[in-house]
Amino acid sequence: MIAEAKRLIDSGEIGRITHFRGVVDEDYMADAEIPWSWRCQLAEAGLGALGDIMVHLVSLAHTLAGRVEKLTAQIETVHKTRPLPDRPGEVGAVENEDAAQALVTFASGASGMLTCSRAAWGRKNRLAFEIHGTRGTLIFDQERMNELQLFTASGDPATRGFRTILTAPAHPPYGLFCPAPGHGLGFNDLKVIELAALLRAIDGTPDPLAVDFTAGLAIERVIHAMVTAAQSQSWVAV
């Protein structure tokens, strides 16, 4: 569905992108009683939610809306201490962030908002975006990974509305897994697709959607710019 969203954007289906709104939320650190671990240490884990899950959202934003050029951000540690697993009654300090949000400007001039949390109760794998264009809108949520919502400002205004695109053989490589549309792929299927792309790249045919070391470095620059912006309370160039 990400590849289909990119195809629709590149073909001009929603016009020029004006805004990218993205969120990535999980609840694996939502419970304050989850014990302190290496994930809470800057020396061991590095950044928290930014380094763990925001990187995926930035990757999507770069793929679909282009590179982030400047930003301002806020970061927050929701649970500032956690119980030490081997010392009953004592707690350890959480040194990195549970949540973050950033206002961004893309190189194209489009605006954006990126948010993440590892302490969002009920969210299991919410990697979602809404992209506004001059002629339409695209909506996706990883928790419903076989669906893409598309609105186009065309036709009779009285009957306009979002339509749901379901994964099908028309969206490669879905057809290699299932000949029938709407049956859906799973997350583990994506890992097979990802591995196949890696092997093809090693063999000399890189996937246009693949994240290589250059793309990875660009993502790292964005999330570390978010830390700098939050600490300085200012806009930062990436």
Q: What is the largest CA-CA distance in the chain?
A: 67
At 95 the pLDDT is: 97
pLDDT for res 211: 83
Three-state DSSP at 72 gives: strand
Question: How many domains does one find in the chain?
Answer: 1
**Over the chain, what is the mean pLDDT?**
96
Give the domain range for residue 46.
Answer: 2-237
CA dist., res. 12 & res. 133, Å (int)? 9
Q: Residue 202's domain is classified under what CATH number? A: 3.30.360.10
97-110 average pLDDT score = 98
Residues 172, 209: contact at Cβ < 8 Å? no
Whether omega before 83 lies within 30 degrees of 0, making that bond cis, reads no
AA identity, residue 180: A
Say yes or no to pLDDT of 176 above 90: yes
Beta bridge partners of 213: none
